[in-house]
């Protein structure tokens, strides 16, 4: 699940819900399908879940939520599903936070990521918990941790077992019935998770993105390392490296699309990196810039690259594409049947500004090609003479098994088509992808420290690599993928 997670603890024992609410409002771009809050008052867990975006609250509603969610410690989640079913009943059931208990043990988790080896883990969990009912992979993470604790292991040892046995991406914030407040990352650190606190260090917090600290007036302290567990006491953060010499593989797609532009990763604002993507594209495809009259961006994740293209090329960035402010859905994370109609309504293009022009259209990525095709069709109707695509994320050739819902080869236009073929399919005059080297350079990471699996075919976890290779062979041999390939029983694992 490509979700947003947030959690906080107030050692002055004041209600923590307001921080959870605003922290997740700042991360609602990470998940539109459902949201949930869980608080703990030292005795009981209090849970609220619902579908859709986190709602606006008036003063009366806020007081009601205070009553439902008492406690000085809490976690929350906004969900974008990449496992399980997508009907409303299943979505609500799979909404996080997830709770699990046995005897006197209680655990609650908010999870961002995706587990590859769920089929084998389900069998292991069912051996100890016969009533276990799998809805999505967050259930696996919660009950695997509960199982290890039930065996008598310490929290550190139990989490280390999870890190070793779960293949995939997981950034987790948790609470136990023993008043533990903690967070941890998988041994590759694929998904973001950072730690912060308020000015007098009476409130400590974990978050997917730094914007949730900003909205609460907190200060970012650090990004969790791969394979690291962080627990919290009134004296601050306790950091414990559970996996020695981990191989870092931070998700590169966060930089191109998923993260908010005002978040900080690798000590850089995301928007600055996206601007550099635009500059890189001009340097890599100067002949396109020489021929173009105007720059147009697909709002909003391609706005920052458009600024970079403008700065490098000196071509005017025509702000003639605008997002309808209250159409809040992010098209990429919608279901297939909803995506094209939403993008058609969401983006307003001022056709009179484009007629007869040769334009550079900046876009963050091309995954399926369907939303891009809708926009290009609109531009053609408005009489645009030529459309050159500058795409910041390199051509996607393989599925993601780590929390982005592009989980089959068949749905990826780049898995079987060259840039020239893609241009013809979507109706563009040219599709120019930023190089992998350009992407890596702009982020400031070393190549080896990024997960580039969907654009290189090289996966950081062994079972994901085995799954990708096996299913690619089947796909190229004519196999029809009818579900996410890590949820198919005959997937080679």
Q: Which residues are catalytically annotated? A: 3
Phi-psi region of 431 (alpha: psi -120 to 50; beta: other; left: phi over 0): beta
CA torsion angle for 22, 27, 29, 31 (degrees, to 10)? -100
Half-sphere exposure of 93 (CA within 13 A, CB side): 14
Rounded-to-integer distance, Cα 54 and Cα 35, Å: 6
Q: Render 332-351 in DSSP notation, one character per residue.
A: GGS-HHHHHHHHHHHEEE-G
Rounded-to-integer distance, Cα 20 and Cα 212, Å: 9
DSSP H or E run through 207: strand 203-207
Rounded-to-integer distance, Cα 309 and Cα 360, Å: 9
Buried-exposed string 234-272: b where 16+ CB fall within 10 A, e elsewhere: eeebeeeebbeebebbbbbbbbbbbbbbebbbeebbbbe
Rounded-to-integer distance, Cα 416 and Cα 481, Å: 14
Rounded-to-integer distance, Cα 85 and Cα 375, Å: 29
């Amino acid at each position: 699940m490509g979700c947003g997670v947030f959690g906080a603890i107030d050692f002055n024992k004041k209600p923590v819900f307001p921080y959870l609410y605003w922290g997740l409002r700042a991360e609602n771009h990470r998940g539109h399908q459902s949201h949930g809050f869980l608080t703990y008052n030292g005795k009981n867990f209090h849970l609220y879940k619902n579908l859709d975006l986190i709602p606006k609250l008036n003063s009366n509603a806020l007081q009601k939520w205070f009553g439902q969610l008492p406690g000085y410690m809490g976690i929350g989640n906004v969900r974008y599903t990449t496992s399980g079913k997508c009907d409303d009943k299943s979505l609500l059931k799979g909404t996080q936070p997830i709770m699990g208990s046995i005897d006197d043990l209680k655990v609650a988790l908010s999870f961002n990521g995706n587990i590859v080896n769920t089929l084998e883990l389900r069998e292991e969990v069912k051996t100890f918990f016969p009533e276990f009912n799998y809805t999505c992979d967050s259930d696996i993470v919660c009950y695997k941790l509960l199982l290890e604790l039930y065996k008598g292991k310490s929290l550190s040892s139990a989490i280390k077992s999870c890190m070793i046995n779960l293949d995939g991406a997981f950034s987790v914030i948790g609470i136990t019935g023993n008043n533990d407040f903690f967070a941890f990352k998988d041994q590759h650190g694929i998904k973001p998770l950072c730690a912060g606190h308020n000015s007098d260090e009476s409130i400590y917090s974990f978050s997917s993105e730094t914007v949730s600290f900003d909205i609460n007036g907190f200060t970012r302290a650090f990004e969790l390392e791969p394979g690291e567990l962080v627990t919290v006491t009134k004296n601050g953060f306790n950091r414990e490296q559970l996996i020695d010499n981990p191989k870092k593989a931070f998700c590169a797609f966060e930089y191109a699309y998923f993260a908010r532009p005002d978040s900080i990763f690798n000590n850089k604002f995301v928007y600055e990196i996206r601007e550099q993507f635009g500059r890189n594209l001009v340097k890599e495809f100067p002949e396109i810039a020489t021929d173009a009259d105007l720059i147009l961006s697909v709002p909003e994740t391609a706005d920052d690259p458009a600024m970079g293209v403008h700065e490098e090329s000196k071509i005017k960035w025509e702000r003639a594409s605008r997002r309808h402010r209250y159409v809040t859905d992010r098209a990429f994370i919608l279901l297939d049947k909803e995506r094209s109609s939403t993008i058609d309504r969401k983006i307003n293009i001022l056709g009179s500004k484009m007629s007869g022009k040769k334009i550079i259209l900046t876009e963050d990525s091309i995954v399926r090609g369907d939303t891009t095709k809708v926009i290009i069709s609109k531009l053609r109707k408005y009489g645009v003479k030529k459309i050159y695509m500058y795409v910041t994320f390199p051509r996607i050739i393989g599925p993601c098994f780590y929390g982005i819902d592009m989980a089959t080869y068949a749905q990826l236009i780049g898995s079987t088509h060259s840039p020239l073929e893609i241009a013809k399919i979507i109706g563009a005059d040219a599709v120019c992808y930023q190089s992998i080297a350009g992407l890596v350079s702009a982020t400031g990471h070393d190549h080896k420290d990024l997960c580039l699996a969907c654009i290189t075919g090289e996966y950081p976890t062994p079972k994901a690599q085995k799954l990708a290779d096996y299913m690619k062979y089947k796909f190229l041999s004519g196999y029809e993928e009818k579900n996410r390939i890590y949820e198919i029983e005959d997937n080679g694992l």
